[in-house]
Amino acid sequence: MEALATRLSNLDSHVEGAIRVVMFYDTLMRRRVDLPALARASAGLAECVAGIRLHSTGQVIRMSPAGTEASTAQPMSSRSPVTLDDEEIGEVWLERAGVANPLDEVVLDRLGIAVAAVVERYGPARTTMADPALVELVISADSDEAGRARALRLLGFAPDRPVRVAAVRTGLPLDRLAALVCPSHLVKAAEVGDAGVLLATKLGEFPDGARAGIGAHECPSRAWTEARIALRFTTSRSPVVHHPDLGALALLAEVPVASLRANADVAAVAALSAEDLETLDAYCATGSLRRAADLLHLHHSSVSRRLEQIGKVLDVADLARVKLALAAFRLL
């Protein structure tokens, strides 16, 4: 790498030096180097510590002139923003002791251009956790399409590829869940509000204990709305719900909570014990007393007695009505 450039300290003229710096970075880009290699080469060229930071991931790379990671932090002697589509996506800097070199500005300018090109080509480092602000830009209904496209690109997603959106709740760390669900596909995760967000090119199976609502709309903001609705309908028996599978039940999510609570059937379901609620859920899931007994690992006579008790406050014979009341109760 050193053969590609003359050391800045040995340059005879500013113009010649600037040309050599431009040629140096052109050569690096033709070789399609990554961000650590860019920082390492820049540190060797400038003969001081060179640094790169991406705002989207918080990733910081600092390399010493020796080609190793810099350990001791020094004040920045010069800094330059990294921009992509007129948006600042990061910064590059040099940590030079003493007087700045006349070509430091040129080095940082070309380094910033190179970093932007790498980010645009490959996306940020393949970390799972993402900047919540960027994720919110993607899923917010208030985002304009240009801003949403930039945010998706900064997160590593191709603009012409669909993005799946899931709303999740889990006892696992969110990055661990994302890695399990998408072991071989691009996925970004963040906590937004009271739920976790997964943005992925493809979603796999969710592990036991996790609950997930999955949107289907091609627009990420609409898909996020669908995913949050689907998440509200999840249960221990149905921990993953796809919004299209809800059908007309999804309309219940638009009913005010106060109206749901005031409904007599919903209030009756809310007053049931955990045992009776589990029995009613199994009965609704199977539509049969005996199959519900098998699901609960009970004798059918035990399930019959429980349903008879529930029937005092709720018409269990009308299965459609009971299912509707149970679904409405879950939204609370």
Give the model confidence (pLDDT) of 99-123 as tens digits.
888 899 999 999 999 999 888 776 5
Which of 220, 253, 286 is the last residue in one of the domains? 253
Which of 253, 286, 302 is the last residue in one of the domains? 253
What's 272's domain CATH number? 1.10.10
- 184 falls within a domain: yes
Residue 3 pLDDT = 41
Give yes or no: residues 59 and 95 share one domain: yes
Question: How far is the C-alpha of 60 from the C-alpha of 51, rounded, in Å?
Answer: 7
Number of domains in the chain: 3
Q: What is the pLDDT of residues 192-246, one digit of tens each?
A: 988 999 999 999 999 999 999 999 999 999 999 999 999 999 988 889 999 999 9
Residue 120 pLDDT = 77
Give yes or no: residues 108 and 153 share one domain: no
Taking only Cα atoms into account, the Rg of the chain, rounded to an integer number of angstroms, comes to 29
- 127 falls within a domain: no
Domain region containing 287: 255-330
Q: What is the pLDDT of residues 52-72, one digit of tens each?
A: 998 766 678 999 999 899 988
Give yes or no: residues 42 and 148 share one domain: no
Give yes or no: residues 116 and 176 share one domain: no
Which of 122, 155, 175 is the last residue in one of the domains? 122
Dihedral, 26, 28, 30, 33 alpha carbons, nearest 10: -150
Give yes or no: residues 199 and 216 share one domain: yes
- 297 falls within a domain: yes
Place of tokens 């690096």: 28
What's 115's domain CATH number? 3.30.450
- 324 falls within a domain: yes
Q: Taking 50 as the threshold, does the pLDDT of residue 125 lie above it?
A: no
Neighbour count for residue 17 (Cβ, 10 Å): 21
Residue 182 pLDDT = 87
- 48 falls within a domain: yes
